Amino acid sequence: MRLFRRPGFITISILLIIYLIIGIMGQYGYASAVLGNAMDTMMYIGWALALAIIMSYAGYVSFGHAVFVGLGAWMTALVVMNIMGTQPFTPTMFVFSLVLAAAASALLAFAVGFVVLRLRGAYFAIATIGLDYVILYLAVYMLRRAGIAPPLLFRNLNLTIQDFYWMHFIVFAITVIVAYLAKVSRFGLGLAAIREDEEAAEVMGVDTFRYKLLAFTLSALLAGMWGAPLAFRQAKFDPYDYFSLLNSVIMIVENTVGGLGSFLGPIIGSYIYYALYWTLLTKIAQASFVVLGPLIVAIIALAPEGLVGWLRRRFPRLRGALE
């Protein structure tokens, strides 16, 4: 059982245990002040790791990854408002939303990836931005046709903050475990080869197109799942908010700051982003991009491997612990 001794496995265990404890405390009325923050950080880590599979592991930046979060939320809205339109909330409703969100996102990513991933370079990035807008305006148009000015507000499901917390926790656990397995498996090795040198990978016998397509689909599936807890928690489907490029920006910033090519990178990047968010964004709102923007430029120019990569280079002895 070599897997259990790997540092990444320990990271996952620590994360899951901490969030489990917070959840149990929340269940008994303690720690209610941090439940919101804990949910936020879980979501940011989840987003970052979902994008990491295609961006950090395989080296293809998806600039419109918010499209899958939005699509997942849309599917959730369909389940809550149309398919199970009158029933009270049951766990089945959440699971159903989750499955539908994941399936729709994976299907869309597969279809788009199938044509676009044959191209190298920026085409993929541009295509995902285009995809984001196609689905956004389709959603807006469908809502308008149904006579609803976005956002679509959910009916009252009588959910508590504890319910939201466990929804986040379930998706978080799935994301972290799947993202880690994708990294350490044979599949992850193939993706790393693609990231470092796609031609060489191809020559060495990596079926690059199939690997990239699978990575994009998996990445979209996880991102799509995050749409469900988000929509339940906010009790609405707001296309302009969920499909916003800002959400994609957050995912990219987390990955870049934390470090590309590692499992720990996106997690650390998420905490850094969240800390910055609390100290900057809540105080000076969008002006905080005056800080975030130069941060990205500086990281790309000075330490393109991100914080974790920089630590690994600077302190070779830590290399074993930083996976």
Binding site residues, another protein, CB under 8 A: 59, 61, 63, 112, 115-116, 119-123, 125-127, 129-131, 133-134, 137-138, 140-141, 144, 198, 244-245, 249, 252, 256, 284-297, 299-302, 304
Residue type, 130: G
Closer residue to another protein (CB): 176 or 292? 292
Minimum Å gap between C-beta 122 and another protein is 4
Please state, as a whole number, how many other Cβ atoms lie within 10 Å of the Cβ of residue 323: 19
Closer residue to another protein (CB): 12 or 77? 77
Minimum Å gap between C-beta 64 and another protein is 9
Closer residue to another protein (CB): 162 or 288? 288
Minimum Å gap between C-beta 282 and another protein is 14
Closer residue to another protein (CB): 43 or 61? 61
Pure H helices in 79-147: 91-116, 122-145
Closer residue to another protein (CB): 51 or 299? 299
d(CA 232, CA 276): 26
- ∠ CA 269-222-141, rounded to 5°: 105
158: tokens are 């009588």
Closer residue to another protein (CB): 175 or 208? 208
d(CA 27, CA 29): 6
Minimum Å gap between C-beta 312 and another protein is 19
Minimum Å gap between C-beta 255 and another protein is 10
Minimum Å gap between C-beta 287 and another protein is 4
In total, the chain counts a number of residues equal to 323
Contact 227, 72 (CB under 8 A): yes
Residue 98: which residues within 8 A CB-CB, separation 6 or more?
Answer: 170, 171, 225, 228
